[in-house]
Amino acid sequence: MRNTLLGLALITLGCATFAANPINVMVKPLGETHSGSPLPIEIPAKFNLPPGQNLTAIVIVHGSAGLDSRGTFHREYLVENGFAVLELDMWSPRAVTSLASRPRSTLDTLPDVWGAWNFLAKNPNINKDKIVIMGFSWGGVNAMATAFGKKSKNPPIELSNAKFAAHIAFYPVCDVWVKNGIASRSVDLSTPTGAPVQIHNGTRDDYDTAPNICESLKTAHPLMPIELLMYEDATHGFDSANAQAVQFFDPVAKNGKGGQVKVIGDERARSRAKASVLDFLRRSLPRS
């Protein structure tokens, strides 16, 4: 009896450790890039799989800086709350080391995103109808594009009926999604999937042309169930752990006209975002 209990305790401990500590996996991108640029054969990712069945899973898509404290922050509390998490590393296989070496278009990483969806959908412990995408900046644009039903170019049959159950977009450069925005020119904005969208943005986000531009998305896209959270005095990348301000020039800021962008972590906004994400997931996902 004692040995049986000890064995069960070790199994439980092993499952808890596996859930808390990610394992390294490789994800196969699906489809082609929209610009025709080369596509890596595989994308490295960190995968957390809590014990249980019918799990909800979150795909985390990083920003232009690549893997950083933002992904770690969100991944840790999501796993603690029982969500499976797959955090992509899209830059290392592309040798991206600066803004200048990013892919030509944010749409060029959609094969990575949909490959991640397929990776999770094939896991027997995960409910393919409860796969969510969360992205920051570049990744936030991917989260928005998929909310409008955008797939990879020439998507394979595995993606015929694929959709994310919900979309969480952190500072997705809101003004690229309004009329004449640079993203609206390449994404069919008339066919949203209907899945709920939660947008997090700071009132001092330098990427946007105006601080109230995100508010206009709700009226510009009435078919999309958008929930918007604005964080007073927060900048782009406010959920970073970096308390020191970083400033840089990005040619895609200000709706493609370019501009200086300031990024600084905001602990209060981070805490509020965490609570809001968890609440959104509980309210928005199917019960089954």
- pLDDT, residue 133, reads 98
What percent of the chain stands above pLDDT 90? Answer: 73
- pLDDT, residue 14, reads 44
Residues of the chain with pLDDT under 50: 1-17
Whether 11 maps to a domain, the answer reads no
Whether 13 maps to a domain, the answer reads no
Contacts of 148 (CB under 8 A, 6+ apart): 187, 188, 189, 191, 192, 193, 224
Query: Using one digit for the tens of pLDDT, what is the confidence trace for 69-86?
Result: 999 999 999 999 999 999
- pLDDT, residue 182, reads 77
Whether 112 maps to a domain, the answer reads yes
What is the distance between the alpha carbons of residues 206 and 172, in angstroms, rounded to a whole number?
Answer: 12
What is the distance between the alpha carbons of residues 192 and 225, in angstroms, rounded to a whole number?
Answer: 9
* pLDDT, the chain, mean: 90
Amino acid at the residue 39:
L
Query: Using one digit for the tens of pLDDT, what is the confidence trace for 127-146?
Result: 999 999 999 999 999 999 99
- CA distances to 47, 111, 133, 197 from 18, in Å: 9, 27, 22, 30
Domain around 193: 20-284
Domain count along the chain? 1
Whether 2 maps to a domain, the answer reads no
- pLDDT, residue 5, reads 42
Q: Chain-centre distance of CA 154, in angstroms?
A: 22
Q: Chain-centre distance of CA 207, in angstroms?
A: 18
CATH of the domain at 231: 3.40.50.1820
- CA distances to 7, 9, 11, 13, 67 from 1, in Å: 10, 12, 15, 18, 46
- pLDDT, residue 19, reads 66
Whether 10 maps to a domain, the answer reads no
Whether 28 maps to a domain, the answer reads yes
- pLDDT, residue 6, reads 43
Q: What is the CA radius of gyration of the chain?
A: 19
Specify whether the CB–CB gap between 44 and 92 falls below 8 A: yes
Contacts of 87 (CB under 8 A, 6+ apart): 22, 45, 46, 47, 59, 60, 62, 67, 71, 75
